[in-house]
Structures are given as structure tokens and as C-alpha cells.
Amino acid sequence: MRNVAILGGGISGLAAAYYLERERRAGAAVRWTLFESSDRLGGVVATDHQDGFRIERGPDSFLTMKPSVSDLAKEMGIGDEMRPSLNAKVRTHILLNGKLIGLPEGMQMMVPGEVWPIVTSPLFSLSTKLRMAWEWLAPPEPLADDQDESVASFVERHFGREVLDRVASPLLAGVFGGDASNLSARAVLPMMLAMEKKYGSLARGAMASQKQKHGTGGSIFTTFRNGMQQFTDAIVDRLDPARIELRAPVREVHRYYDQWRVVTADGRLEMYHNVIIALPSFVASDVLQKTDTPLAAELAAIPYASCMTVALAYDKKTLPALPEGYGFLVPSTEGRRMMACTFVGHKFPDRVPEGGALIRTFFTEGIELSDEDTVSLARKELQEILGITVAPRFCKISRWPRAMAQYTVGHIKRVEGIQQMLQAHSGLHLIGAAYRGIGMPDCVREAKETALGILVG
């Protein structure tokens, strides 16, 4: 009987437990225990329900093109509960000089995929449009396979500072909450790096991709009918509750002969053949400090950013007309605290009741503010940007300190080094958003590979 400890009850730990439990029920000789320090499971995945509104406290969806979440949902029998984003209003706006300007049609992140929308867009100056044309004709040298650079450097090499400031930086800030001058192009934009290597010109590659996609349809994002927590709740429902320990932080993990000893905060000692650590890397560092100090130091060196969302519910009839589209992004050059804003009903209509409107704002600063000051800040900026003067029906604030791992320049090499260090610790596994992808599909995929790998190893 293989005994496995799982540390952390976020999406990664839950997915690992699910696949181990699935194999146990199919006859595998495995037993697992999940330790979670808080009083709830799901980590940053959480959905509130009030007055017919479904309000996401954490991620509001997952990328449709990455199949691990949708595959697991179908396996659990909730595939028909998935809901695509509303592509008819897929356009995103950029706040520029206090006005909302739509991203040109066909843009793939910061890369132009069609010519005429770029030519006619007021988002870019003439010099930037000429720079985009020159990128097609005489692209820069591709990044060498053994090198890395910042996202800022990568974008500037191809399209210049204006595209970085107005599009790339705010787009990535909404995903990573970080600074493009620190984020790793190789870790954050792997598809762009592959496109650069194949085509040289990103614009040429994006336009080729547009032709291949033409007519294929499909939504960019997917969620669940009752919110993202429906997915994690479905996983929990399929686990043995007797194997889950809440309010059970782990203090230390260390080798004891041919097994691993897990020491809980209340002093209990448990022995396991395998330990899956599905914790933020800085927490994993504390747990492993006495086992491998250099490994713990590498884990602690992965930086994190904090974030906060403020969701404001309104009666739709009291609001000025909102622009079509998912919402807008705010470049740092605009001098505002808000980083992004989503018009929830435009993206997922069934999250908002008839006659209601839900606006969800995103901040990476101000997490220390009081509730009153936070709501005042969000309302002030929404009034200045959208002209909303009425008070919301209610507000929901969600604060996530040190929740977003930062894939800084050299991140891939750091993770490779961590994996090499783990080879000296048979039976010890690290999974989660700090390493090979921050999205839910990446976390589920890695958890599945790890859990099933333990059983065949």
C-alpha cells in the first residue's frame, strides 16, 4: 500500500487527490491524506452568490484551448455545466488619455493579426503603425534557445514602447499582476517565442494563425454555470472526506529512512512514501527548510504579487450605457490605481440577474486599504472613466495577499534547477502555479501527471 500526503487544498492539491482517489477505487494500492491549513478547500477559487449575482472572488474562467479542466469536468459528469464566454462582445478596450479605445480587431495579445483594423485604429500613433509594418518586412533576430529576456524587451524589440505601454503591459498585469520589465518572455509568452522562431515576424505569424483559425469559432474562455467554485466543489464531492484534514497546517517535512515524515503544526508525526507539496513556493520553502536548505532558498526566491478585486452590483437601468466588450484595461501611464475592469454580464450573461449589472474591478495595489476606502477608490475611478455616479446595490471585496507567482527572467532555468534538486529526494513532489503555468488547466494537468506518475513509479 502506497501512502501519499498532499499538502495544500487548492486546485492543484484537490486535483492530485482526485486522481489518486480515482485510481484507488479502480483497485490501485494507494492511500492518500490531504492537509489544508485553512477551514475551506479550493484556494483562490471561490464564488459568492447574492441576489441572483454570481461573483467570482478569484479566477472567473479558464482558457478553453487548454483541455485539462474541461476533460476533468466531463469525467466528473459536469461537462454540461460549462459555459463559454460570449464571443459576440469579445472586444476589450484600453484606457488612453482618459478615453476607452477598443483593441483593433484580430490582435493576438499585443500582435496585429489584421492590417486594416491597425491602420484605422486611434490606439496607435503613425510611427508605431510604421514600426509594425517594418516588423513584418525586417523582423529582429529571434531570441537564442539558451537565452531569456524580459517581456518588455521582447515586445519593444518587435513593436516599440507604445505597444508595450498601451497593450502588452496592461494585458499581462491582469494575468500575472507583475511588471513586464521583470517577467520572463520565455516563461510567460512561450507561444510568441515559438512564433518568432518559426516566422521571425510576430505579425506574419499572427496573420498566418488568423487564416488557420478563420471560421473555426469557439470561445476564448469557459466557466461553469454556478461559478468556478462549482468545479472545485465537484472534485471535493468525489473525495473521501475522512482523508481530508482542514485547519491542519504542516510545519515540516523530512526524510526518515526510506519514507517521509510529515510534522503538523500541532506536533503530530505521520509517515508517507510520497509527499506532494501543492503550496505556494514560499510556504513550501518553510516546510522544506530543514530538509534541503538550498532547495528551500530557490523556492523562496520565486516572487509573488498581491491582488484585490472589487465587485460592484447595480440595477442596470441606473447606469450609463456600458461599452460593448468584456471590459477595459488600464495602462500604468494613465496614473490610476485600477488595473482592469470586467463587465461581467457581457462576458458571462448568466452570472447577472435580469435587470442587473455587475462590474468587477482589479487592483494590484491598495490591498491594505480599509473596506470603506477600497470601495471609495473603485467608485471614484469608475465615475471618472465610465461616468457612473449611482451607488451600487452592494460590493464584494476579495483580497489575495501574495497570491500570484511571478515568472521573472530566468524562471524556466530556476524551475529546471529545482527539479534537479528534487532528484535527490525520491518521493517528494512540487506542484502548483509557481512552476509551469499559473492557470487552472496547467495546475490540473501537472497534478494529474504527478499523481499518476507516483503509481507507476
Residue 3: which H helix or E strand, with range? Answer: strand 2-7
Q: Closest Cα partner for 452 from 84, 156, 15? A: 15
Using CA atoms, how far apart are residues 125 and 127, in angstroms rounded to an integer? 5
Mean predicted confidence (pLDDT) in 8-15: 98
Task: Decide if domain 2-44+229-303+408-456 falls under CATH 3.40.50.450.
Answer: no
Using CA atoms, how far apart are residues 361 and 369, in angstroms rounded to an integer? 15
- Output the pLDDT for position 86: 83
What cell was used for 406? Answer: 511571478
CA distances from 123 to 114, 126, 165 (A): 15, 10, 11
Q: Closest Cα partner for 302 from 447, 148, 436? A: 436
User: What residues contact 382, with CB distance under 8 A and at least 6 apart?
Assistant: 312, 341, 359, 361, 388
Q: How would you classify residue 137: left for phi > 0, otherwise alpha for psi between -120 and 50, otherwise beta?
A: alpha
Using CA atoms, how far apart are residues 373 and 420, in angstroms rounded to an integer? 47
Using CA atoms, how far apart are residues 88 and 270, in angstroms rounded to an integer? 54
Mean pLDDT of the chain: 94
**What is the tens place of the pLDDT at every residue in 95-104?**
999 999 999 9
Using CA atoms, how far apart are residues 382 and 376, in angstroms rounded to an integer? 10
CB 228 within 8 A of CB 45: yes
**What is the tens place of the pLDDT at every residue in 240-299?**
999 999 999 999 999 999 999 999 999 999 999 999 999 999 999 999 999 999 999 999
Using CA atoms, how far apart are residues 300 and 280, in angstroms rounded to an integer? 9
User: pLDDT higher for 107 or 54?
Assistant: 54
- Output the pLDDT for position 214: 47
In the predicted structure, residue 338 carries a pLDDT above the cut 50: yes
In the predicted structure, residue 453 carries a pLDDT above the cut 50: yes
- Output the pLDDT for position 178: 83
Task: Supply the CATH classification number for the domain 104-213.
Answer: 1.10.3110.10
- Output the pLDDT for position 174: 80
Mean predicted confidence (pLDDT) in 32-36: 98
Q: Closest Cα partner for 104 from 86, 134, 137, 128? A: 128
Task: Say what angle helices 293-300 and 411-422 make with each other, to 10 degrees.
Answer: 150
**What is the tens place of the pLDDT at every residue in 118-157?**
999 999 999 999 999 999 999 999 999 999 999 999 999 9
- Output the pLDDT for position 217: 52
- Output the pLDDT for position 216: 42
CB 9 within 8 A of CB 42: yes
Tell how strand 82-84 and strand 62-63 pair up: unpaired
- Output the pLDDT for position 439: 93
CB 21 within 8 A of CB 239: yes
- Output the pLDDT for position 341: 97
CB 35 within 8 A of CB 263: no
In the predicted structure, residue 442 carries a pLDDT above the cut 50: yes
Of the pLDDT bands very low, low, confident and very high (cuts 50, 70, 90), residue 109 is: confident
**What is the tens place of the pLDDT at every residue in 162-193?**
999 999 999 998 888 889 999 999 999 999 99
Of the pLDDT bands very low, low, confident and very high (cuts 50, 70, 90), residue 108 is: confident
Mean predicted confidence (pLDDT) in 194-203: 94
Of the pLDDT bands very low, low, confident and very high (cuts 50, 70, 90), residue 213 is: low
In the predicted structure, residue 391 carries a pLDDT above the cut 70: yes
* β-strand partners of 342: 327, 360
Domain assignments of the chain as residue spans, ordered by start: 2-44+229-303+408-456, 104-213, 304-405
Using CA atoms, how far apart are residues 348 and 4, in angstroms rounded to an integer? 39
- Output the pLDDT for position 89: 53
CA distances from 32 to 24, 36, 319, 372, 456 (A): 9, 13, 51, 44, 16
User: What residues contact 420, with CB distance under 8 A and at least 6 apart?
Assistant: none
Task: Supply the CATH classification number for the domain 304-405.
Answer: 3.90.660.20
- Output the pLDDT for position 96: 96
DSSP code for 216 = -
Question: HSE of 302 in the Cβ direction (CA atoms, 13 Å)?
Answer: 29
**What is the tens place of the pLDDT at every residue in 71-80?**
999 999 999 9
Using CA atoms, how far apart are residues 6 and 31, in angstroms rounded to an integer? 11
In the predicted structure, residue 212 carries a pLDDT above the cut 70: no
CB 86 within 8 A of CB 60: no
pTM of the model: 0.94
